[in-house]
Structure 1
Amino acid sequence: MTAVTLTADRRRGLQRRIRWIVTATIAYNVLEAVVAITAGSIASSGALIAFGLDSTIEVLSAAAVAWQFTRRDPERWEKPTLRVIAIAFFALAVYVIATSLLALIGRVEAEHSTLGIIVTAMSVVIMPFLSLAERRTGRELGSATAVADSKQTLICTCLSAAVLAGLLLNSLLGWWWADAVAGLVIAGFAVREGIEAWRGDACATSVGMILEGDDHGI
């Protein structure tokens, strides 16, 4: 598509939309973290506890983007914000790898957790919509940080699905190792996205170049 310059009003509208999206993401992830860690502690589920802690990483990433778009010149803060998001990806990967390996080596078997299944299922439904909204807005605005943060949200959605599958397989079939193996796969994707964010490759367009769509709202 042809790159065009956004009007000042459209740019401000997109920046305002991103602030609303990341605010919603932060609020949901704070609630998700509290519920998941509580449910994980009750059920002795390392996967659920890890999932709750992962939500705090998502809060950090979203907060970094929210902070950027409160600045007078958001584009100026693209690179440092991308670095924060990249570090969040790497931290997520390290934690998931460590907890997954410990679960496999120690043959950790968690108890059934209805609350855990509910919160992970809700995340699988809710988070893709937040990710899609932020990615579309970020691409139109030409913001690599918003696109990178949307990928962080999508990775967390995949992790939610993996934890949910693990909880269900453990409860229904006794496959205690399922969520640990799935976690290792998700960690690989997190490392890849972290590298892209660190290099500044998270957005297909250069900062300051805007995708065509000036007259079309989302």
Structure 2
Amino acid sequence: MAAISLGPTPARRDALTRRIRLLVAATITYNLVEAVVAITAGTIASSTALIGFGLDSVIEVSSAAAVAWQFSARDHALREARERTTLRIIAVSFFALAAYVGIDAVRALAGTGEAERSVPGIVIAALSLAIMPFLSAAQRGAGRELGSASAVADSRQTLLCTYLSAVLLVGLVLNATLGWSWADPIAALVIAVIAVKEGRDAWQGKGCCVPPATAVPAMAEDACGCRPGCTCCT
């Protein structure tokens, strides 16, 4: 019979907690800069896509701040108690993002307004596309090892920003070079669907987690390394 993993040691748990705090702080800092640049550039260029991207950054800040609040508790039991509230905040952020992106995409397809070329928008989208995958992967890895569904959910929010960055970059480049104004809203609708799914998973508390140190036999890992009831690792 395979041995049941009891998760990280107390020393490792403390190290992972510190790592998550640093990653969350980096995410908040970058997204604040991203929000200011994107919303400003979007307003100047009359680009609803850029403004929407900036608002997504604001939502990501709220999500990361919720995780920071959870991990600010020194007591492990208190952090676990805060996790459900944190997941609810992350889920609502996803739903709000999906609603905004979806409505904005429909308006764009209906021909409401025409965005101008935006070099700053292209630059910030390219930077986000390069930076966000690394932040997401680092936080997801630490969150899974620690057994924190909220940290994993927040890493998905950061990964979604990568998808949005790619969509925004393609849309801005196509608009600037070929005048294809329909490309961005179509892709944005796909992102809205993804955001709804991620929001639902966060609301249900799903995540790919290694059982925490308090694990009991009933919480043994399944074949893919996840606790029963969690979404299987991908």
What TM-score comes out, normalization by structure 2 length?
A: 0.86
Hey, what's the Cα distance between the residues in 2 that align with 1:191 and 1:176? 24
Equivalent residues of 1:32, 1:55 under 8 A apart: yes
Tell me the residue number matched to 2:145.
140
Tell me the residue number matched to 2:60.
58
Hey, what's the Cα distance between the residues in 2 that align with 1:181 and 1:22? 31
Alignment pair present for 1:109 and 2:114: yes
Hey, what's the Cα distance between the residues in 2 that align with 1:26 and 1:78? 19
Across the two proteins, how many residue pairs are aligned to each other? 212
Tell me the residue number matched to 1:193.
198
Structure 1 unaligned blocks of 5 or more: 213-218
1:39 pairs with one of 37, 41, 47: 41
Tell me the residue number matched to 1:19.
21
Hey, what's the Cα distance between the residues in 2 that align with 1:112 and 1:2? 57
Q: Kindly indicate which of the two structures has a greater share of residues assigned to helix.
A: 1
Structure 2 unaligned blocks of 5 or more: 226-234
Give 1:203 deviation, angstroms: 2.9
After superposition, give the CA deviation of every residue in 1:34-61 in whole Å (9 maximum; x if it has no partner).
Answer: 0001110111101001100110000000
Alignment pair present for 1:168 and 2:173: yes
Q: How does 1:67-78 map to 2 (within 5 A)?
A: 67-71=69-73, 72=75, 73-78=78-83
Aligned-residue identity in percent:
58
Counterpart residue type for residue 91 of structure 1: A
CA RMSD of aligned residues (A): 1.7
Equivalent residues of 1:148, 1:203 under 8 A apart: no
Hey, what's the Cα distance between the residues in 2 that align with 1:123 and 1:143? 25
Hey, what's the Cα distance between the residues in 1 that align with 2:4 and 2:194? 31
Counterpart residue type for residue 93 of structure 1: A
What TM-score comes out, normalization by structure 1 length?
A: 0.93
Hey, what's the Cα distance between the residues in 2 that align with 1:128 and 1:180? 23
Give 1:6 deviation, angstroms: 2.0
After superposition, give the CA deviation of every residue in 1:161-203 in whole Å (9 maximum; x if it has no partner).
Answer: 1011000011111101111111100000000010011011123
Equivalent residues of 1:11, 1:141 under 8 A apart: yes
Counterpart residue type for residue 43 of structure 1: A
Hey, what's the Cα distance between the residues in 2 that align with 1:192 and 1:35? 28
Give 1:107 deviation, angstroms: 4.5
